[in-house]
Amino acid sequence: MNVCVLGLGYIGLPFAALLARHGHSVRGVDTSESVLRALRLGNLPGLEPSLGALARECVSSGRLVPSGSVSRADVFIVAVPTPVREVRKADLSFVEQAVDSISPFLEAGNLLVIESTVPVGTTEKMASRLLEKRPDLASPEGRPLFFAAHCPERVLPGKILEELVEVDRVVGGIDPESTEKAASFYRGFVRGAVHTTDARTAEMCKLVENASRDASIAFANEISMLCVKWGIDPEALIGLANRHPRVRIMEPGPGVGGHCIPVDPWFLVASAPEDTALIQAARKTNERKTEWVLERIKKAACRFENPVFACLGLAYKPNVNDLRESPAVKIAGKLCSMKNGEVRIVEPNIDRLCPPLSALPNCRLVSLEEALKEANVVALLTRHREFEGIERRISAETLFVDPNGIIRAGTRKAGEATP
């Protein structure tokens, strides 16, 4: 089949490569010339394991053609970003632009799938938008002669290629025929089950999955702040509570980052602000946790006149290089804006700082050894594998703050070998 994938980002590129691997003839469309150039040249550093190699292979074999413009296809997949703007409403302009660019090429019997995370009702709206531009594609009863469905991506950054194939999918069309058409397309390469529903349910399902995770993490974060008040170790406490057969508390940390979980709940809130008190409270609790951990790091630094902070980890979660919406970036930025103080960053997954941190005179990316040697306060912000057992490497004159804001003194005496 001829497939056109619009948006070659975190989801679109692996998806396009996967479709090409499954024998489809894929046109990968992106508006960024640098993305297209990198793909054409096979210059794809920093991608997920094996994705770079697969994308290179698909492009060189001609099964994946990077392009700045849409052309005719049997299936159009929209995988463009849907960011949340200041007013905490979804910005659908990229989806609208993508749909508009498809409109001149759309033919009766084609399938449009929106993979981008969108507010409930968007797939129906996009189908109507296409019909307005292409009234020739309406049946005499005004129904579209093309198929349109939502199939939200569900992959975990760090395991994208694997999860695109293995994880169950939810497919919902604007009518039963669209659902069936889209489901049979996905069944061609998904090993997990493909569950069918309508477009609105599929849209809401994705938002609810991420809002549910946000609320669960918020509970863990609230508990962790309470624990500090009573001198209780939150991780030990949660470990014990989770020994109950029907309790599963998540892991607290310095807040929730990434481009999905802190964003998607707002799509639900925007649609019904008065009926989403719990979802809003969860968002605020997770945002508050970042501020709270920052306050704890500053508290640890009180005794030093010009403290040197070591921030271990900038990524939004362990063992990835993704800094989007990362609580660690927010904390490091705020430490840099203190009147006194120097900030050393250790992030094994990047080789240079990017703005705003790169523009700050008191902020430097250094090795772990250098950071541990110079710091008065070491804050573990992301539990990368490189930082395992870090507590035992902190010298006795240095304070250590864990991802929950627990402050401890270092234990290693001067001259003692590091384990």
Nearer to ligand SAJ, 106 or 161 (CB): 161
Choice among 227, 260, 311, 336 that is catalytic: 260
Q: What is the 3-state secondary structure (H, E, C) of 4-23?
A: EEECCCCCHHHHHHHHHHCC
CA distance 66 to 384: 34
CA distance 370 to 360: 19
Active site residue 302: no
Least Å distance, CB 3 to ligand SAJ, is: 21
Q: Which stretch binds ligand SAJ (CB under 6 A): 40-48, 60-68, 79-87, 247-255?
A: 247-255
CA distance 202 to 179: 10
Active site residue 151: no
Least Å distance, CB 153 to ligand SAJ, is: 6
Residue 121 to residues 150, 174, 277, Cα–Cα distance (Å): 10, 10, 22
- Within residues 354-373, the interface with ligand SAJ by CB under 6 A covers none
Q: Which stretch binds ligand SAJ (CB under 6 A): 68-76, 79-87, 148-156, 346-354?
A: 148-156
80 interacts with ligand SAJ by CB under 6 A: no
Nearer to ligand SAJ, 74 or 251 (CB): 251
250 interacts with ligand SAJ by CB under 6 A: yes
Least Å distance, CB 90 to ligand SAJ, is: 13
> Cis peptide before 14, with omega less than 30 degrees from 0?
no
Q: Within the chain, what is the greatest distance between any pair of CA atoms?
A: 85
Among 53, 156, 226, 278, binds ligand SAJ (CB under 6 A): 156
Which residue is at the shortest CB distance from ligand SAJ? 260
**Two tokens, residue 329:** 């970036």
The stretches of 197-246 forming alpha helices (DSSP H) are: 199-229, 234-241
Give CA 124 to chain center in angstroms: 25
228 interacts with ligand SAJ by CB under 6 A: no
Interacting residues with ligand SAJ (CB under 6 A)? 117, 153-157, 209-210, 213, 217, 250-251, 253, 256-258, 260-261, 316-317
